[in-house]
Amino acid sequence: MTKNLRVKTSKFIDETYKVSFKFNGTTYYGYKGDTLASALLANDIHLVGRSFKYHRPRGIMTAGSEEPNAIVQLHNNTSRTEPNVRATEIEIYEGLEASSQNCWPSVNFDIGGINNFLSPVLPAGFYYKTFMWPASFWEKYEYFIRKSAGLGKSPTVPDPDIYEHKYIHCDVLVVGAGISGIIAAKTAAKNGFKTLLLDEKSYLGGSTIYQNSENFKISNQISSSWLEKEINEIKKIENLEIKTRTSVAAFHGYNFLLARENLTDHLPLDQRKNKTRHRLLKIRAKKVIMATGSLERPLIFDNNDRPGILLSSAIEKYANLFGVACGERNVLFTNNDSAYETAISLFQKGINIEAIVDNREEIDSKLIKETEKNNIKVYKGYTVVDTTGYKRINKISIMQLSKDGQKVMGSKVSITCDCLGISGGWTPAVHLFTQSGGKLKFRDEDQVFIPDKYPSDQISIGSCNGDFTLNEILSSIPNKLKDFLNIKKTDYENLEVYSSFNKSKRNIWLLPSDKLIGKTKPFVDYQNDATAKDIKLALREGFRSIEHVKRYTTTGMGTDQGKLGNMHALGIISETAGSKMGELGTTTFRPPYTPLTFGTIVGRNVGEYFDIFRKTPIHDWHVKNKAKFENVGQWKRAWYYPKDGEDMHEAVQRESKAARDSAGILDASTLGKIDIQGTDASEFLNRVYTNAWSKLAIGKCRYGLMLNEDGMVYDDGVTTRLDENHYIMTTTTGGAATVLGKLEDYLQTEWPELDVYLTSVTDHYATVSVCGPNSKKIVSQVIPDLDFSDENFPHMSFKNAKIGKIKCRVMRISFTGEHSYEINVQANYGKSVWEKCIEAGKEFNITPYGTETMHLLRAEKGFIIVGQDTDATMTPIDLQMDWIVSKKKYDFIGKRSLYRSDTIKEDRKQLVGLLTENPDDVLEEGAQIVADMNKSPVEMLGHVTSSYYSPNLKKSIALGVVRGGKNMMGQKLIIPMENKQINVTVADPVFLDKENKRLNA
Amino acid sequence: MLNYTNAITEEKSYSGLQMKEIKPVMKLVIRGKKREFLSAIGKSLNLLLPTEANTSSSSDKLTALWLSPDEWMIYSNEILNSETNEYETENLLNKNISKTNLGAVTDVTDQFVLINMKGDKIFDLFETGSPFNFNDFRNKKGSVTQTILAKIDVIIHNQNKNEVNLFVRHSFSQHLFSWMNDSASRL
């Protein structure tokens, strides 16, 4: 039977809407508006999980995203399971199922808890020290280390939720909707700035919105009432967009920020269908106002981690916002006035406070006086030295502090309690500011890091800037906003502010104990179980840099990134090493501020939208005819067309035989096509290709090789002269965009004097390539008006033609070595032309073939594929294509590099043909080529670049690059494979029809 | 007689958003730097080419989009006959521009698919996949941008309040349209 610790109605909780949820298999009830943490606390449950290393029982410690302990697994063993969810952030909904992590068999009885008793032999660096030897045991250690690593369980099935990205551009982005953020957003929006206000909570107003004390007033109104009116006003401003449940994850350079908008995590599962769960906002802001607030610091003393120990501000929030008492016998331990605010709130709600332990001796503020007036016992100048209670705190021991705060004295006093609130002052939340490249400075008087140098157009206001009291906030913000937004006035000048808060603080990073430190467990990083003792050990072992101490002790390396304890770690290092905090610096705050789901990062780039792809205008025909596709660049290209259960090899053999024997048809629409016009078009081609173009007659086509500046082959293709000053260039499929970009770059930067214009027409044309001895008969049926005689239409020429009333261009060019025609027609007529060719070719058994057969056919002819037979280290000479390099031209891209000492060496890798001793052995592409297997080490001469079994030649053929291969014709070489060696002979790379008889057949 | 097969066969309608392909629409890319080029275009088409970046101009029959300092796209405002791909405008410009060496005229009718979008959620859709800042663009009739949407190059022309014409390469059009529908279904 659990207790009900709901104490008083809260307007933030809908008590008419009861919500049932399960925690560790047991059903509990809460109300709409509760977080899992507030609902558990209302049911008097503090024990939520076990710590990472020692498996110590841990409870809810905070009420926000800084929570280190209360992290749970949601919906275990389902597709929606999620580990490491902070109970303090997740809002409950009907059907929520949460369970504890890092414990077995249960959170109440955890076998791993034995680690707590072994802790004396598990110091910082235990793993590093222990698992170094013997080296051969590593694999055995690794198994156990991996098994015990991590906290929750990853999902094992696909995520059913939808995630999206969204780009937002605003004039002013305000991060944080506390009192400072609300003031800033309203001021910016009312002055005409397109403003975006974000807050990670489900409500606006930060901690002020539930501050119901007469001790804090603005314009003679209780601060929360004043702020509520402001919030109601900003909701009506048109150019102000407000997003709650939205956490800024990263603040990059130039005011580019990433935020996660949580859209459905608070809804029951059955209401989430087809809705976006998380949205990653990619925000470009002209100006950024950081109003991220501050985080309350814990206090570091022995056994400061027990369930029932919470931050004092969290206890206040649970009482005021959720109407929940965290305990029935509460004690507060503080070094500043904040705990008294909590005490007054609890008192107002009728929640019992046993005592307040304050480490300050001389304290005088209105808040303390009011507390004492309420008969709450205050122990001044005392510190907590120990706590007891394994799964829930039941007692604390306190002792008096010495004047210097380094020792305790006097006798121990025990106080029975079931909840201890601790308050060590406040740390400005500067994480995002530093992510943006901002530099911090250390303020000695209250031991805080605050923003100093801004790297972009941004400011920090409110408590994230070190202005902690209501007075400070409201007196500083108006002037800051006026300067930053360049405006003359704000609505917030000369406000009457009343605040009872006294800023005095007695900061002691590690509180003294009556025991030796080695006998204590003062936790600094709660999630990773790093104690002050571990930090001191790291310093004794020689670590000095904060970054090294962090990694050695794992302080600040949990999912909470040490939001609570990092400052204490710095303080303890500084005190122990005798260095100044300001000089020590901080560890690097890295994005994300709070963990993001992978879905948020990926967005809709999953499944069919994982990558973009392109289809040719004939794509649907290929699908209908059961083509298999391969990805070429971004294109889906027909790879082969299996028939009657054929595998790829069988299909390719059939397709290539048909293309040589009668007719084949290929969809070549993917080739890049660049329209080149201008009076200097011929000169331009002379400069970009290695061969000469000036004398190419109108109506003729020519193959060209394009080099990079380093003389290496970059792209190739056929270019056709359509008119005196008009060419169309084809490029490789994958190279189209980069070639166009490179050529445009040359025209704009190197050769602005040339009168040349480039326009991509790759997508404008569908290209149907018909090849084979019967190709002429087929295309002449499709285009009856065109004279296809060899005299009128010889190889490497082009004709304008019409099919019906549709204009098209026909090129007689060949990549197969066969008599071939390419019909280029406007894309939307492409499928129709293809179908007409198929129809006309029926009597000739016209066979559609894909890229695999195309590769085989061209390899038989020794035609290269740039990117397959070349790899940016091959010159035209290496490819045995000396014939295409003009010796007469003054210049072309890469010319100079062809005459460097390295590129004219005789023993460069050169393209050769390879014939296997056994004609049935097909080499593996990429296989190494060697001459002498007995040489040690074996010298690699090159590798196989293309390899096929040719049904036309009835033998295996291959192309490869071999060091000095040009002079090795007829020489025997070896291809060493896994289980055998294949003997090959170096041959001419042209295997079929060297005389080009078939082209003109 | 060849059959005409356009890229996007469906018209899609969502709350606040309608999308459909407009075809056949003649599209030409014209390029030139000389002053005579601009005046020859103006005289030939009775249309002044826009010289301010990312703007457009229109006549009854044609619209010109600024693409770069020496590059424009001209598209027909009317739907043409799919039985022929002879375009009077192209022939006229070939005669007055190409043949006189004033600049380049290239037919890109099927290079781009024109998707017409209407509704008050057009820019909500764009925000889910384009990094471009549409804040000023959406309020300026006739503005033009070349940006990316769902990682795909697009040209967007602000036709009117709550109406844009989006040009996407033919090969990407089906993939983009599918993505747009997916995104629109959740707006």
Model confidence pLDDT, tens digit, residues A450-507: 999 999 999 999 999 999 999 999 999 999 999 999 999 999 998 899 888 888 899 9
Instruction: Dihedral sign for Cα A486, A490, A494, A499, please.
Output: negative
Tokens representing A468 are: 């902690």
Residue A805 to residue B83, Cβ atoms within 8 A? yes
Chain B interface test: which of A162, A164, A166, A167 (most B C-beta within 10 Å): A167
Q: Does residue A9 belong to any structural domain of this protein?
A: no
What pLDDT does A579 receive? 87
The confidence score (pLDDT) of residue A2 equals 62
CA B109 and chain centroid, separation: 10
Q: Tell me, yes or no, if B95 comes closer than 8 A to chain A by beta carbon.
A: no
Q: Taking CB atoms and an 8 Å limit, are A826 and B110 in contact across chains?
A: yes
| Helix, strand, coil shares, percent, chain A, to 5 | 25, 30, 45
B103 touches chain A (CB under 8 A): yes
Domain-terminating residue out of A479, A499, A519? A499
Are B53 and A779 contacting, i.e. CB atoms less than 8 angstroms apart?
no
Considering the domain architecture, whether residues A710 and A803 belong to the same structural domain is answered as: yes
Q: Is the peptide bond before A134 cis (omega within 30 degrees of 0)?
A: yes
CATH number for the domain including A731? 3.30.1360.120
Percentage with pLDDT > 90 across chain A: 84
Which of A7-21, A716-730, A829-843, B6-20 comes out lowest in average pLDDT? A7-21
Q: What is the pLDDT of residues A657-673, one digit of tens each?
A: 999 999 999 999 999 99
Give A587 or A373, the one with higher predicted confidence.
A373
Whole-number Å distance between alpha carbons of A164 and B184: 12
The domain total for chain A is 4
Number of helical H runs and strand E runs in chain A: 23, 50
- Does residue B74 sit at the A interface (CB-CB below 8 Å)? no
- Which residue would you say has higher pLDDT here, A112 or A508? A508
Count Cα atoms within 13 angstroms, Cβ side, for A205. 21
Q: Give yes or no: residues A831 and A685 share one domain.
A: yes
A744 contact B CB<8A:
no
Residue A155 lies in a domain: no
What is the pLDDT at residue A583? Answer: 83
Better pLDDT: A120 or A361: A361
Based on the fold, state whether residues A796 and A830 are members of the same structural domain.
yes
Q: Which of A835, A857, A879 is the last residue of a domain?
A: A857
Residue A938 and residue A824 share a domain = no
How far apart (Å, rounded) are the C-alpha atoms in residues B122 and B102?
A: 38
**Do A349 and A325 meet the contact criterion of CB atoms below 8 Å apart?**
yes
In this prediction, residues A399-418 reach a mean pLDDT of 95
A667 vs A854: CA distance, rounded Å: 10
Any chain B CB within 8 A of the CB of A725?
yes
Query: pLDDT tens digits, residue range A164-215?
Result: 999 999 999 999 999 999 999 999 999 999 999 999 999 999 999 998 888 8
**What is the per-residue pLDDT for B144?**
98
Give tens-digit pLDDT for B110-121: 999 999 999 999
pLDDT exceeds cutoff 90 at A881: yes
- For residue A604, the chain B residues in CB contact (below 8 A) are 128, 179, 182-183
More confident residue, A545 or A705: A705
pLDDT at A588: 79
**Which DSSP symbol is given to B173?**
H
The pLDDT value given to residue A151: 81
Q: For A749-786, b where at least 16 C-beta lie within 10 A, e where not — what string?
A: eeeeebbbbbbbbbbbbbbbbbbbbbbbbbbbebbeeb
User: What is residue A837's predicted lDDT score, i.e. its pLDDT?
Assistant: 98
| Whole-number percent of chain A with pLDDT over 70 | 100
Partner-chain residue, chosen from A167, A806, A830, that has the shortest CB–CB distance to B84: A806
Q: Is the domain of A870 the same as that of A851?
A: no
Please tell me whether residues A816 and A694 are part of one structural domain.
yes
A282 interfaces chain B, CB cutoff of 8 Å: yes
Task: Among A837, A857, A877, give the residue marking a domain's end.
Answer: A857
Question: Residues B88-96: contacts with CB within 8 Å, 24+ apart?
Answer: B89/B26, B89/B28, B89/B45, B89/B61, B89/B62, B90/B26, B90/B28, B92/B44, B92/B45, B93/B28, B93/B30, B93/B41, B93/B44, B93/B45, B96/B40, B96/B43, B96/B44
The answer to whether residue A519 is domain-embedded is no
Q: Would you say how long chain A is, in residues? A: 1001
Q: For residues A947 and A958, give the distance between their C-alpha atoms in angstroms, rounded to a whole number.
A: 4
Using the Cβ of B100 and the Cβ atoms of chain A, whether some distance falls under 8 Å is answered with no
Q: Rounded CA gap, A851 and A853, in Å?
A: 6
Residue A94 falls within a domain, yes or no? Answer: yes
Q: Residue B176: list chain A partners with CB under 8 A.
A: 612
Cα–Cα distances (Å) from A847 to A659, A662, A822, in that order, read 7, 9, 15
Confidence of residue A1 (pLDDT cuts 50, 70, 90): very low
Contact A617 B7 (CB under 8 A): yes
Judged by a CB distance cut-off of 8 A, whether residue B130 touches chain A is: yes
Residue A156 within a domain: no
Whether residue A195 lies inside any domain: the answer is yes
Same domain, yes or no: A699 and A827? yes
Look at B111 and A763 and tell me if their CB atoms are within 8 Å: yes
Q: Identify the burial level of A408 via C-beta atoms within 10 angstroms of its C-beta, where 0-12 means exposed, 13-18 middle and 19 or more buried.
A: buried
ipTM above 0.90 for this complex = yes
C-beta atoms of B131 and A615 within 8 A: no
Write the pLDDT tens digit of every residue in A79-122. 999 999 999 999 999 999 999 987 878 888 888 788 877 777 77
Question: How does pLDDT run across A228-256, given as a tens digit for each residue?
Answer: 999 999 999 999 999 999 999 999 999 99
The verdict on a CB contact (< 8 Å) between B111 and A761 is yes
A809 at interface of B, judged by CB pairs closer than 8 A: no
Residue A509 lies in a domain: no
Domains and CATH numbers, chain B: 13-184 (3.30.1360.120)
Task: Report yes or no: A34 and A42 within 8 Å, Cβ to Cβ.
Answer: yes
B74-100 tens-digit pLDDT: 999 999 999 999 999 999 999 999 999
Where in the sequence is the domain holding A99, given as residue range(s)?
14-117
Are residues A820 and A902 located together in one domain of the fold? Answer: no
User: Residue A299: pLDDT above 60?
Assistant: yes
Question: pLDDT tens digits for chain B (187 residues)?
Answer: 899 999 999 999 999 999 999 999 999 999 999 999 999 999 999 999 999 999 999 999 999 999 999 999 999 999 999 999 999 999 999 999 999 999 999 999 999 999 999 999 999 999 999 999 999 999 999 999 999 999 999 999 999 999 999 999 999 999 999 999 999 999 9
A429 to chain B nearest CA, in Å?
29
Identify the weakest region by mean pLDDT among A19-33, A143-157, A829-843, B116-130. A143-157
Exposed (0-12), middle (13-18) or buried (19+): which is A324, by Cβ within 10 Å?
buried
Look at residue A544 and tell me whether its pLDDT is greater than 90: no
What is the domain-level CATH number for residue A491? 3.50.50.60
What per-residue confidence (pLDDT) applies to A488? 94
Cβ neighbours of B146 in A, within 8 Å: none
**How far, CA to CA in Å, does A634 sit from each of A637, A671, A808, B171?**
9, 12, 26, 10
Identify any residues that bridge with A319 across adjacent strands, giving them in sequence order: none
Query: What CATH number is attached to the domain comprising A56?
Result: 3.10.20.440
One domain for residues A112 and A206: no
Chain B residues whose CB is inside 8 A of the A803 CB are 2
- Assess whether A919 and A868 both reside in one domain: yes
Are A675 and B104 an interchain contact pair (Cβ–Cβ within 8 Å)?
yes
Whether residue A387 is contained in a domain is answered as no
Q: Which of B6, B110, B126, B173 should be substituted to probe chain A, the one whose Cβ sees the most A Cβ atoms within 10 Å?
A: B110
Query: Mean pLDDT in chain A?
Result: 94
Does A887 lie in the same domain as A956? yes
- Mean pLDDT score, A146-162: 86
- Are A192 and A75 found together in one domain? no
